Amino acid sequence: MTAFSRFFIVVSLFISLASQSVFAEVTLPRVLSDGVVLQRDQAVPIWGWADEDEEITVALNGQQITSTTAENGKWRAVLPRQQAGGPHTIEVKASNTVRINDVYFGDVWLAAGQSNMQTSMARIQPAYPDEVATADEPLIRFYTKRPEYDFDAPREDYSDGEWLVTNTDNITSFSGVAYFFAKNIHAKTGVPIGIINTAVGGSTAEGYIREEQLAAFPKYLNQATAYRDHEYFENILAGDREKNESWRNELDSNDLGLNGPTPWYEQDLNTKDWDRMLIPGYWADTDVGAINGAVWFRREVNLPASVAGEEAQLWLGRIVDADMVYVNGELVGGTTYKYPPRRYTVPEGLLKEGANSIAIRVISNTDEGGFVLDKPYWLAVDDLTIDLTGEWKMKVGYESEPLQPDNFIVHLQPLGYGNAMISPIENMRFKGALWYQGESNVSRFDEYQSLLTTMIVDWRDRFNDPDMPFIIAQLPNFMEASDEPQESEWAEMRAVQRSITQTVDNTALAVNIDAGEWNDIHPLRKKIVGDRMAIAARSLVYEEQDLVASGPQEVCYKIRNKQVEILFDSVGNGLSSKGAELAEFAIKGTNTPWQWTNARLDGESVFVDRMGAQEPIAIRYAWSDNPEDANLFNAEGLPASPFELTVECQ
């Protein structure tokens, strides 16, 4: 045996022994870590991994509570139910000791869904500046999971995340909806609140359903399991990468604004031959037409000497699709897709007295490119704010073909998020779930009731809680308002969401028909949604007495000669129209199409004109993408859900 062979054997043996030693050490999942909130008043699992037959003991505050033995490399113990409070210490001992510090028992809520649940306090900070500036709620804690997917199998642990207390440093990373929900519940109960946020922007309901239950939807199951052929999957990803890189390389190499003798972002540039466009707006409405590619915009702003060199804030609303922004020839920010607000910081030393140039390179991939209406466009420095709406110089850098869609769009896939985001926390115990999702399923509203009901049943089984409460956020108003009654997928989806809470036990609906923005699928006013979800939870889960937890709910109608009386439940201290005439009511008869009708309040009823409609009739309220004038509330300030009523009182 050579010296090298002996050395190789010794090294291999050392590595083998070292790996066995590491494997033998007891370990815990990431979610069971310092600062964790565990569910009060329930037996709570503590779990992890260890070597086969390893004996594990679990102690709470130094007192041994339970013990167990690892089987197949896994172990699981159960803490007896604890009252709300803390801080506590949990010690898990085997050949090593793992300690979890700053543990509290309280109420743990699972926040899930898509981007409106994911939207952080940083993004909505302009709407709630004091909330962020003064945040100090050490008993409200968040664990935010970075989006991941897995089509192969359920994962056992998270790869990232940590528990964070609510303070000015941490709050900006928290879900806005979940934070306002937690703050409301904590204020009412006084108990610690833990939020585990697993929301993923653009995700679908089928993305969170386990494989066994997804079998009820063969199309989605086959779609997801096809990706287990890794060569096939990688070819799809490689094809998308190549397509996108080729499109971008063509754009960049041919963009006159980047490749001419003087880049179009330079401070001193001759723009006499440039066209003009009003911002906000879309260049499809100008002589340029509905092209894709790169279009440049420039404007000069004059500043006094008093603000020269100062840091500034540059707000450019929202831009479709991507942008790069330059001030005096220097890049100050950019965004790669159309949804986020454009809020850029101009660093110290860049602004000067007199003329300052702002150049924006806008890249349109597929949509009509431009600047979204009714958004803020300004430059603010010290106490000076300059309005940037109005006329800008414009010139096409390069016109390209539209970018073709990817073959693999991760957020629209079934199964993957359930495996990666939900499976690792199946041993956690929750007070309930907060579900804000539906935008990605709107075009398939007819199957959403079956999908979401399946997901709820699946999660209740996964978390070993057959009565696990679900608080569902109904989709808010969105898109342009309609002058005439319309058929609407968004209205249909809202009706399905409501139907789920009427047919599935231990669920509740938070109506948000007044919380949206016509021009933004991510409205800023997340406190409305969080508070209304909290009100629903306080009634359903915390059984708060004498709480009006819902807006007016239509019951039936009675025909009163030329009028129809609509009877309501959940009127609280009375119906309200917010000081204006009731709006957004429409009526239909056998001989008439849907048409707007006059409506008025009378006690706990609403009377609408028949408008010549013969029997049978149907009545709709707020039935459109964006019923911007919907104003039927109860005195407690909760809105009526959009509805279609076909039930005549008996």
- Is 70 exceeded by the pLDDT of residue 214? yes
pLDDT band at 9 (very low <50, low <70, confident <90, very high): very low
Query: How does pLDDT run across 553-568, given as a tens digit for each residue?
Result: 999 999 998 999 999 9
Tokens representing 176 are 């806005």
Tokens representing 330 are 């220097």
- Is 70 exceeded by the pLDDT of residue 382? yes
182: Cβ contacts below 8 Å, ≥ 6 apart? 109, 140, 193, 195, 530
pLDDT of residue 617: 86
Average pLDDT over residues 307-318: 98
CA distances from 103 to 89, 99, 135 (A): 6, 10, 21
CA distances from 11 to 5, 14, 20, 233 (A): 10, 5, 14, 38
Query: How does pLDDT run across 166-191, given as a tens digit for each residue?
Result: 999 999 999 999 999 999 999 999 99
pLDDT band at 104 (very low <50, low <70, confident <90, very high): very high
What is the residue-averaged pLDDT of the chain? Answer: 95
Could you give the CA distance from residue 463 to residue 433 in angstroms, rounded to a whole number? 11
Contact indicator for 621, 640 with CB cutoff of 8 Å: yes
pLDDT band at 17 (very low <50, low <70, confident <90, very high): very low
pLDDT of residue 21: 37
Query: How does pLDDT run across 358-373, given as a tens digit for each residue?
Result: 999 999 999 899 999 9
DSSP 330-342: EEEEEESSSSS--
For the chain, percent of residues with pLDDT exceeding 70: 96
- Is 50 exceeded by the pLDDT of residue 6? no
pLDDT of residue 616: 78
CA distances from 555 to 549, 587, 604 (A): 17, 16, 11
CA distances from 276 to 390, 395, 639 (A): 10, 8, 44
Whole-prediction pTM: 0.94
Average pLDDT over residues 82-87: 98
SS (H, E, C) 383-419: CEEEECCEEEEEEEEEEECCCCCCCCCHHHCCCHHHH
Number of Cβ within 10 Å of residue 277's Cβ equals 22
Query: How does pLDDT run across 524-578, given as a tens digit for each residue?
Result: 999 999 999 999 999 999 999 999 999 999 999 999 989 999 999 999 999 999 9
Could you give the CA distance from residue 143 to residue 236 in angstroms, rounded to a whole number? 33
Average pLDDT over residues 623-642: 98
pLDDT band at 637 (very low <50, low <70, confident <90, very high): very high
Tokens representing 59 are 């102690």
pLDDT of residue 460: 98
Query: How does pLDDT run across 404-457, given as a tens digit for each residue?
Result: 999 999 999 999 999 999 999 999 999 999 999 999 999 999 999 999 999 999
pLDDT of residue 189: 98
pLDDT band at 7 (very low <50, low <70, confident <90, very high): very low
pLDDT band at 614 (very low <50, low <70, confident <90, very high): confident
At residue 29's C-alpha, the angle toward residues 27 and 30, to 5°, is 115
Report phi then psi at 213, rounded to 5. -80, -30
pLDDT of residue 579: 86
- Is 90 exceeded by the pLDDT of residue 313? yes
Query: How does pLDDT run across 125-168, given as a tens digit for each residue?
Result: 999 999 999 999 999 999 999 999 999 999 999 999 999 999 99
- Is 60 exceeded by the pLDDT of residue 14? no
pLDDT of residue 61: 98
Residue 615's nearest CA partner among 597, 594, 593, 588 is: 588
- Is 80 exceeded by the pLDDT of residue 504? yes
Domains of the chain: 254-400 (2.60.120.260), 553-645 (2.60.40)
Place of tokens 């409305």: 528
pLDDT of residue 24: 59
- Is 70 exceeded by the pLDDT of residue 23? no
Place of tokens 């803490």: 79
- Is 80 exceeded by the pLDDT of residue 317? yes
Q: How many helices (H) and strands (E) does the chain have?
A: 13, 36
